[in-house]
């Protein structure tokens, strides 16, 4: 197991599913736009096709975000390659549903760090983690930050076995009472939580325990400032030891402009 401790730092502003407020979520276009908008780090969701190829997509089903129907995990990679993931956003028709390999290539080219959220279909945890870890070993550029996270904590345990040196974030909604035991159990240096329910007291306790704290999904600039511990004039009053380490947002440009970063 890795001996590394302390927060696994990503960035203060992380583009959630790419710049997904302005381009179709979890697509190459959204990730590229995040870089255009000044983001240095992105978050994506990853699951696998019927033949075990990792694809970047949030839902179990294809229907909401693509021209396909039914479960992603029941389609072959060749079938998924034909889908339109630009549906619903004008100007993005024909945007592919990206394979994780294509995303890694883009992130390397643009120099973007990554929070890779492992989103296995229930029952496919082992296959999903193995496929993702194989690709990370094969082609993730080691100089760029990479943190795994997952609501599927068993997947975090599997990722830890396979790639112990890739840091993990325990992904939760509200902070559970037993957060200390859970982060210990899964060897997590970070906790990634719902920003709507995180209290200042919890923030202090998590920081004192040496955890990195990242909050989703924060699109309101004032909420972002509160969570990051910024009050009033940022340059004068920002306490770098208070607040969370970063937030996930669908609008990285808007938040960076507000926060002055
Ligand atoms: O990883 C942060 C956030 O993406 C978790 O929720 O549903 O947007 O994947 P979700
Ligand atoms: Mg996610």
Q: What is the pLDDT of residues 118-127, one digit of tens each?
A: 999 999 999 9
Per residue in 52-68, pLDDT (tens digit) is 999 999 999 999 999 99
Instruction: Average the pLDDT over each of 184-193, 214-223, 229-238, 248-257 and give the range with the smallest value.
Output: 229-238
Residue 234 has pLDDT above 60, yes or no: no
Stretch 151-165: mean pLDDT: 98
At 110, list the tokens: 């643009």
Task: State the virtual CA torsion across 103, 109, 115, 116 in degrees, nearest 10.
Answer: 30
Task: Quote the percentage of the chain above a pLDDT of 70.
Answer: 95
**Residue 203: how many CA atoms within 13 Å on its side-chain side?**
19
> Vertex 227, ends 225 and 232: CA angle to 5°?
35
Which has the minimum average pLDDT: 32-41, 53-62, 228-237? 228-237
The band of 112, judged by pLDDT with boundaries at 50, 70 and 90, is very high
- Do the Cβ atoms of 122 and 128 come closer than 8 Å? no
pLDDT at 3: 53
- Helix segments in 71-199, DSSP class H: 77-80, 100-110, 125-139, 153-162, 179-185
The verdict on whether 58 is a catalytic residue reads: yes
Indicate which residue's Cα is closest to atom 6 of ligand 1: 216
| Model confidence pLDDT, tens digit, residues 138-154 | 999 999 999 999 999 99
Token reading at 251: 């609008």
pTM: 0.96
Mutation pick for ligand 1 pocket among 58, 115, 252 (CB with most ligand atoms within 8 Å):
58
Q: Is the pLDDT of residue 239 over 80?
A: no
Q: Is 37 a catalytic residue?
A: no
**What is the Cα–Cα distance from 53 to 128, expressed in whole angstroms?**
8
Residue 231 is predicted with a pLDDT of 72
Residue 88: its pLDDT value, please? 79
| CA dihedral of 63, 69, 75, 79, whole degrees rounded to 10 | -100
Q: Is the pLDDT of residue 235 over 90?
A: no
Q: Is the confidence at residue 238, as pLDDT, over 60? A: no
Ligand 1 centroid to Cα of residue 236, in Å, is 32
Q: Is the pLDDT of residue 232 over 70?
A: no
Tell me if 118 sits within 8 A of 152, measured CB to CB: yes
Is the model's pLDDT at 236 over the cut of 70? no
Q: How many CA atoms lie within 13 A of 222 on its CB side?
A: 0
CA of 248 to the centre of ligand 1 (A): 9
Which pair of tokens denotes residue 39? 């983001």
* Active-site option among 16, 75, 192, 245: 16
Q: Find, among 61, 103, 64, 68, the residue nearest to 84 by Cα.
A: 68
Q: What is the mean pLDDT of residues 128-132?
A: 98
Q: Mean pLDDT of all residues in the chain?
A: 95
């Amino acid at each position: 197991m890795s001996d590394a401790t302390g927060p696994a730092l990503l960035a203060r502003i992380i583009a959630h599913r790419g710049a997904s407020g302005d381009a179709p979520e979890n697509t190459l276009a959204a990730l590229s736009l995040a870089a255009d908008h000044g983001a240095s780090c992105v978050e994506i969701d990853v699951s696998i096709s019927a033949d075990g190829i990792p694809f970047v997509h949030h839902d179990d089903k294809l229907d909401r975000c693509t021209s396909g129907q039914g479960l992603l995990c029941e389609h072959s990679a060749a079938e998924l390659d034909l889908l339109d993931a630009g549906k619903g956003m004008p100007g993005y028709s024909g945007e592919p549903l990206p394979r994780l390999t294509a995303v890694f290539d883009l992130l390397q080219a643009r120099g973007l760090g990554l929070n890779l959220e492992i989103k296995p279909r229930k029952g496919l945890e082992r296959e999903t983690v193995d496929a993702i870890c194989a690709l990370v070993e094969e082609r993730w550029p080691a100089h760029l930050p990479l943190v795994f996270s997952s609501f599927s904590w068993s997947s975090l345990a599997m990722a830890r076995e396979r790639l112990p040196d890739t840091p993990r974030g325990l992904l939760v909604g509200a902070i559970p009472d037993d957060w200390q035991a859970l982060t210990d159990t899964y060897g997590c240096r970070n906790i990634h939580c719902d920003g709507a329910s995180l209290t200042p007291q919890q923030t202090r306790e998590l920081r004192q325990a040496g955890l990195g704290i990242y909050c989703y999904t924060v699109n309101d600039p004032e909420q972002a400032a509160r969570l990051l511990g910024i009050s009033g004039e940022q340059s004068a009053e920002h306490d770098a030891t208070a607040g969370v380490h970063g937030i996930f947002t669908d609008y990285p440009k808007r938040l960076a402009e507000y926060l002055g970063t």
